[in-house]
């Protein structure tokens, strides 16, 4: 029996479905040669949608700052990022608002909502988040810094730097540090690299509060996010949250981007619970699936008519305001 309100649960389901259909459309675009590379977050929706719904969205230090990795679509789609803009980045059109058609898909940024540019080098966000963590600490209020990354990424030095900076005595930072543990770093298994039971256990050495939980479960995710966020917002100290999730389509297009049926699928698991509790019918589910499928096919058709960037602009913005070749 589900415990949260039907309104919240159905809204979460709708956004999980929407996020999944965006990612599956992006994979289809890649496979139909409407893009060069796919990486994204199918399998992380049960954790990421609740997270996206709990963000204090806005510009400046009264609001949350987000330092995300490339599997975070189910965080920013619920915040209001438009699916068509992800299709644009996939197709590398000039109209892509995040990079003018120059970056990989799911590498977004949005200054108005404090979403810092997503990078391909893993874990660099664990270093840059220290900066907004310090700024949030000095500013006060309830805005916090939120950073996420993968399990393999925690082997990088930036992860250790983040734990140290976030927990300096009397200088603790209001940072919610999230590890999305999908058990893999491309083709290297987490089990072959980590002798600690939970990655979150590493927080204990720094006196940082921590929790490892089932990120494939909407309610477990919601309760964990609410508790951790409340603590970081009010105590102005860090929390390390490790969510165990699935990697449903492999690492990226580099590993084929095919559905892996042996992984737990959080969307179908949640559907079963909603059906059992009579909160939704199979006919309604089918209707929602059909709606998103049709809608996204139409959006991709539109994107395919849009202009591509001028080859002359290839070097623009390699550095900040730079236009043209740098050397
Ligand atoms: C600094 C750096 N080293 C290596 C890579 C190549 N690389 C890309 S993704 C990845 C695995 C990341 O695994 P994990 O942190 O668990 O995140 P996941 O992709 O599984 O979500 C690696 C090694 C990279 N992008 N950046």
Q: What is the pLDDT of residue 327?
A: 74
Ligand 1 centroid to 153 CA: how many Å?
6
Q: What is the pLDDT of residue 326?
A: 78
Q: What gap in Å lies between CA 225 and CA 229, rounded to an integer?
A: 6
Phi, psi values for residue 167, rounded to 5°: -125, 20
Q: What is the pLDDT of residue 185?
A: 98
Question: What's the sign of the alpha-carbon dihedral 55, 57, 63, 64?
Answer: positive
Phi, psi values for residue 288, rounded to 5°: -65, -40
User: What is the pairing mode between strands 239-244 and 175-181?
Assistant: parallel
Domain ranges of the chain: 6-313
Q: What gap in Å lies between CA 15 and CA 230, rounded to an integer?
A: 23
Q: What gap in Å lies between CA 221 and CA 22, rounded to an integer?
A: 22
Contact 256, 250 (CB under 8 A): yes
Fold of 6-313: Rossmann fold (3.40.50)
Residue of 23, 185, 192, 248 best suited for mutating to test ligand 1, as the one with most atoms within 8 Å of CB: 185
> Closest ligand 1 atom, CA of 124?
1
Residue of 186, 194, 260 best suited for mutating to test ligand 1, as the one with most atoms within 8 Å of CB: 186
Residues with CB under 6 A from ligand 1: 71, 120-122, 149-153, 180, 182, 184-186, 251
> Closest ligand 1 atom, CA of 251?
19
DSSP symbols for 180-220 = EE-SEETTEEGGGT--SS-GGGGGGGGT-EEEEEETT-HHH
Give the position of tokens 């120059």.
102
Which residues of the chain register pLDDT less than 50? Answer: none
Residue nearest ligand 1's atom 25 by CA:
121
Query: Closest by alpha carbon to 228, among 216, 87, 215?
Result: 215
Ligand 1 centroid to 257 CA: how many Å?
16
Collapsing DSSP states into helix, strand and coil, what is residue 177? strand
Ligand 1 centroid to 306 CA: how many Å?
32
Ligand 1 centroid to 104 CA: how many Å?
15
């Amino acid at each position: 029996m589900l415990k949260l309100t039907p309104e919240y649960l159905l809204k979460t389901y709708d956004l999980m479905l929407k996020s999944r259909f965006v990612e599956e459309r992006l994979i289809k675009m890649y496979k139909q040669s409407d893009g060069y590379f796919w990486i994204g977050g199918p399998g992380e929706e049960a954790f990421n949608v609740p997270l996206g719904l709990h963000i204090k969205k806005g510009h400046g230090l009264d609001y949350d700052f987000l330092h995300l990795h490339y599997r975070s679509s189910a965080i920013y789609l619920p915040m209001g990022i438009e699916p068509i803009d992800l299709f644009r980045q996939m197709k590398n059109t000039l109209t892509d608002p995040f990079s003018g058609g120059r970056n990989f898909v799911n590498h977004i940024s949005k200054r108005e909502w404090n979403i810092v540019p997503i990078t391909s080098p893993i874990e660099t966000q664990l270093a840059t988040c220290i900066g907004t963590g310090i700024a949030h600490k000095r500013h006060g209020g309830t805005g916090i810094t939120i950073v996420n990354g993968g399990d393999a990424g925690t082997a990088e030095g930036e992860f250790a730097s983040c734990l140290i900076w976030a927990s300096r005595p009397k200088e603790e930072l209001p940072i919610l540090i999230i590890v999305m543990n999908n058990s893999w770093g491309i083709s290297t298994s987490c089990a072959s690299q980590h002798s600690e039971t939970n990655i979150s256990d590493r927080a204990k050495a720094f006196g940082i509060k921590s929790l490892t939980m089932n990120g494939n479960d909407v309610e477990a995710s919601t309760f964990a996010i609410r508790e951790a966020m409340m603590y970081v917002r009010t105590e102005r100290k860090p929390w390390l949250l490790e969510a165990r999730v699935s990697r449903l389509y492999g690492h990226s297009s580099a590993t084929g981007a095919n559905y892996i049926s042996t992984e737990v699928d959080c969307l179908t698991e949640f559907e079963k619970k909603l059906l059992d509790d009579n909160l939704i019918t199979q006919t309604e589910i089918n209707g929602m699936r059909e709606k998103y499928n049709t809608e996204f096919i139409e959006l991709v058709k539109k994107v395919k008519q849009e202009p591509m960037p001028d080859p002359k602009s290839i070097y623009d913005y390699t550095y900040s305001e730079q236009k043209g070749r740098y050397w």
